[in-house]
Amino acid sequence: MAQEIKVKKEESHGVFKPALLKRYSLDKVFAIATWVATFFGLVILAILLIDVFSDGLPRLNWSFITSFPSRRPSAAGILSPLVGSIWLLLTVAIIAFPLGVGAGIFLEEYAKDNWLTQIIEINIANLAAVPSIIYGLLGLQIFVRWLEPITQGRSILTGALTLTLLILPVIIISTREALRAIPDSLRQAGFALGATRWQVISQQIFPLALPAILTGTILALSRAIGETASLITIGALTYIAFLPELSLKGLQSPFTALPIQIFNWVSRPQEAFQTNAAAGIIVLMMVLLLMNSTAILLRNKFQSKR
């Protein structure tokens, strides 16, 4: 009996050995392919960064940051585009975060699973993949033309509202996924202790999901700060020699942004403007890294508390 079992084991090992070897070989091929793809992406990124820094660092100085754009490349700076980008970023964050998170909480925790909710979910998923220029056309019609008495046309508020529409689907989807990752046992435990739905969400579910929600918000704002097509569509200017007021009235003033100014310099044939564009790209990356670092610190702080 023992001899028959031994024979059967040897036969089974003989049958499965080629299949196992084939699977291990495919695993090695896949691992090598992923390493090659990762290395290729890193090499391209390194080449781009080296090219940008080699061209832009000699031009990057305090005068470049504190000067307004000019038709003379040697006197041109990025003060108004830099301030415009910061204005846009703060306004978009203030508008988009509560709207996106609130919509995600409602759809995930309160809305019933019916045909209307399913239609809304499908549309939100589709809107996340719509090209940014479509949002620019939408913002041009709604915020520039229809709501001109409120936004004053091509203003910072118009740009912020347009970018808010652009990133809202991403924030909503990331919020829903973060809430969905929290075990239902926590909700049931809260309900069993007599807590209301809002108490369970606000005191148990939302604090646990907040780090993941902030991650999605960081990605969405990173897309917004580098957006160009939608801002060009709504009429962002490329030459502004003044700074908007730090008030609600300042939100209704004309604006420009770093991606717009960089696009303008890149489109010019003079080599000096190309150098200015490289320096502007470095500043834009610094702003993006500073924003992401701040958001990541906040995320880690909330995560460590829980």
pLDDT digits 0-9 by tens, 109-143: 998 888 888 899 899 989 888 899 999 999 999 99
Number of domains in the chain: 2
Whether 111 and 258 share a structural domain: yes
Q: Is residue 6 over pLDDT 90?
A: no
Whether 229 and 94 share a structural domain: yes
Q: Nearest to residue 88, comparing CAs of 240, 250, 262? A: 250
Whether 116 and 132 share a structural domain: yes
Q: Is residue 101 over pLDDT 70?
A: yes
Band (14; pLDDT cuts 50, 70, 90): low
Residue 247 has what pLDDT?
79
The residue-averaged pLDDT of 12-19 equals 58
Query: What is the rounded distance in angstroms from the CA atom of residue 233 to the CA atom of residue 224?
Result: 15
Q: What is the CATH number of the domain that holds 186?
A: 1.10.3720.10
Whether 51 and 81 share a structural domain: no
Helix (H, G, I), strand (E, B) or coil at 144: helix
Residue 296 has what pLDDT?
79
Residues 6+ apart with CB under 8 A from 63: 77
Average pLDDT over all residues of the chain = 87
Query: What is the rounded distance in angstroms from the CA atom of residue 148 to the CA atom of residue 128?
Result: 27
Decide: pTM greater than 0.95.
no
Whether 27 and 147 share a structural domain: no
Q: Is residue 246 over pLDDT 50?
A: yes
Whether 122 and 22 share a structural domain: no
The residue-averaged pLDDT of 203-215 equals 89
The residue-averaged pLDDT of 38-67 equals 92
Place of tokens 């925790």: 109
Runs of H (alpha helix) within the chain = 2-56, 62-66, 79-105, 115-127, 132-139, 148-151, 156-180, 184-192, 197-200, 206-225, 229-234, 258-266, 271-305
Q: Which one is predicted more confidently, 178 or 24?
A: 178
Residues 6+ apart with CB under 8 A from 86: 287
Whether 149 and 219 share a structural domain: yes
Q: Which one is predicted more confidently, 47 or 8?
A: 47
Residues 6+ apart with CB under 8 A from 158: 139, 143, 144, 151, 234
Q: Domain of 66?
A: 62-305
Whether 18 and 118 share a structural domain: no
Residues 6+ apart with CB under 8 A from 133: 229, 230, 233
Q: What torsion, rounded to 10 degrees, do the Cα atoms 285, 65, 59, 283 define?
A: 0
Residue 10 has what pLDDT?
47
Residue 7 has what pLDDT?
45
Whether 55 and 169 share a structural domain: no
Band (48; pLDDT cuts 50, 70, 90): very high
pLDDT digits 0-9 by tens, 297-306: 877 777 776 6
Q: How large is the greatest C-alpha to C-alpha distance in the chain, in angstroms? A: 95
Q: Is residue 11 over pLDDT 60?
A: no
Tokens of 26: 């495919």
